[in-house]
């Protein structure tokens, strides 16, 4: 859904775009992965919920953007298909992975962070910046003109990455 040049990215979703656009999302335990090609000024944002599709991998209705292991590959594929950019041209910035709900045993946010880091390593995509963890939500705005991301952790001032 577009808001002028801003495009909101919901949970378990991927949006790709080019220079005139700003991709925006709000995160809790989910991780927002921004991939960007500085030379082509194109990129995409993945809003993933869980580290691994696991048993759901065989599900024909699998929503790839929900999981890190299927979502990262799908984001790279979509950028390549839309703009002809290879993964070697991409740099990554990642945000989110908080533990918003206290008293819940599983720290899904931390699992998401580790899964994305491992996948980026495996795909040889360098992580240029990250702001992850904590107990508060994140609002991010990914500018596809510059590759810069404005990240505001709830209750804090916005920071640029």
Partner 1 sequence: MDESQQVQRALQLIANLSIDKASQVLSKSIKVGAKIELENVYVADISKATEAIMVSDEGDVVGAYVDLVGDMPFKFLFYVAAEDSLTLTDLMLRKELGTTKKFDIYVTSTVQELGNILASAVTNVFASDFQIKMRPSPPKVVHDYASTVFGEYIMEAAADLNEILMIESQFRVVRMNIKCRMFLLPTGDTQKTLASIVAAA
Positions that interact with partner 1 (CB under 8 A): 1, 3, 8-13, 24-30, 49-50, 56, 61, 63, 65-66, 98, 100-103, 108, 136-139, 154
Between 49 and 78, CB nearer to partner 1: 49
Between 86 and 156, CB nearer to partner 1: 156
Between 30 and 113, CB nearer to partner 1: 30
- What does the longest C-alpha to C-alpha distance in the chain come to? 45
CB of 40 to partner 1, least distance (A): 26
SS3 135: coil
CB of 63 to partner 1, least distance (A): 5
Q: How far apart are CA 90 and CA 111, in angstroms?
A: 23
CB of 142 to partner 1, least distance (A): 14
Q: How far apart are CA 140 and CA 8, in angstroms?
A: 10
Between 26 and 76, CB nearer to partner 1: 26
In the set 30, 34, 131, 151, the catalytic residue is 30
Return the closest-CA partner of residue 72 out of 59, 83, 87, 85. Answer: 87
CB of 37 to partner 1, least distance (A): 24
Q: How far apart are CA 113 and CA 98, in angstroms?
A: 9
For tokens 């041209």, the residue is 89
Decide: 49 and 109 in contact? Cβ < 8 Å: no
Active site residue 30: yes
The tokens describing 140, both together, are 């991010």
Residues taking part in catalysis:
30
């Amino acid at each position: 859904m577009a808001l002028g040049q801003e495009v909101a990215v919901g949970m378990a979703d991927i949006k790709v775009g080019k220079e005139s656009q700003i991709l925006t999302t709000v995160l809790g335990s989910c991780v927002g992965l921004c991939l960007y090609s500085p030379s082509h000024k194109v990129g995409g944002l993945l809003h993933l919920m869980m580290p691994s599709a696991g048993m759901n991998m065989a599900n024909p209705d699998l929503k790839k953007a929900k999981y890190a292991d299927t979502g990262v590959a799908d984001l790279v594929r979509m950028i390549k298909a839309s703009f002809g950019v290879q993964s070697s041209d991409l740099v990554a910035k990642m945000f989110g992975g908080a533990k918003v709900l206290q008293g819940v045993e599983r720290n899904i946010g931390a699992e998401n962070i580790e899964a994305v880091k491992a996948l980026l390593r495996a795909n040889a995509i360098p992580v240029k910046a990250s702001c992850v963890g904590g107990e508060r939500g994140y609002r991010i705005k990914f500018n596809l003109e510059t590759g810069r991301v404005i990240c505001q952790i709830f209750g804090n001032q916005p920071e640029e990455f």
